[in-house]
Amino acid sequence: MINYKGCKNIKNEELLETKCDILIPAALENQITKANADKIKAKIVVEGANGPTTPEADKILDEKGIMLVPDILANSGGVTASYYEWVPNLTREHWTLEEVNQKLENKMVKAFSDVYNIMRKEESDMRTAALMLGVGRVAEAIKTLGLWP
């Protein structure tokens, strides 16, 4: 929103480079690039949008010690909540908002913890850890269930 009474308009670049604890680019992709990643002052970047950070910027943020929570993890709550809507509809059950929120919180906390633990163990970044976890789970499912058409 621009021209809001009592507020100062700033450009997108200024917003991304503002000193803050947590920066959440949540609208457009390719907003944090190699051209501006070194100017990011946040301690943590949480990707609310799909692909707001370029691969070159990922590396720069990692070198600066800025934790980046990748979109595949940060955005997974919406898909998970949709699943929690679908399941009771299939079984003609009713889950209260509190039940859904508790299930969602448990799932998201575990997902973050799983990715974070892999990041620490493998000494990688969060995006790489999330990919390792996902590929590992697919490999385990194929091994367990077998590959079938």
pLDDT in tens, 125-139: 999 999 999 999 999
- Match 């969060």 to its residue by tokens: 126
What gap in Å lies between CA 17 and CA 14, rounded to an integer? 5
In the predicted model, is pLDDT for residue 146 greater than 90? Answer: no
Query: What percent of the chain stands above pLDDT 70?
Result: 98
- The b/e string for 118-133 (b: 16+ C-beta within 10 A; e otherwise) is bbeeeebbbbbbbbbb
**Phi, then psi, of 66 in degrees rounded to 5:** -90, 120
pLDDT of residue 145: 86
Does the structure show a pLDDT above 80 at 148?
no
Q: What is the DSSP letter of 32?
A: B
How far is C-alpha 83 from the chain's CA centre?
18
What pLDDT, on the 0 to 100 scale, is given for residue 25?
96
Res 13: pLDDT? 87
First-last CA distance in the chain: 50
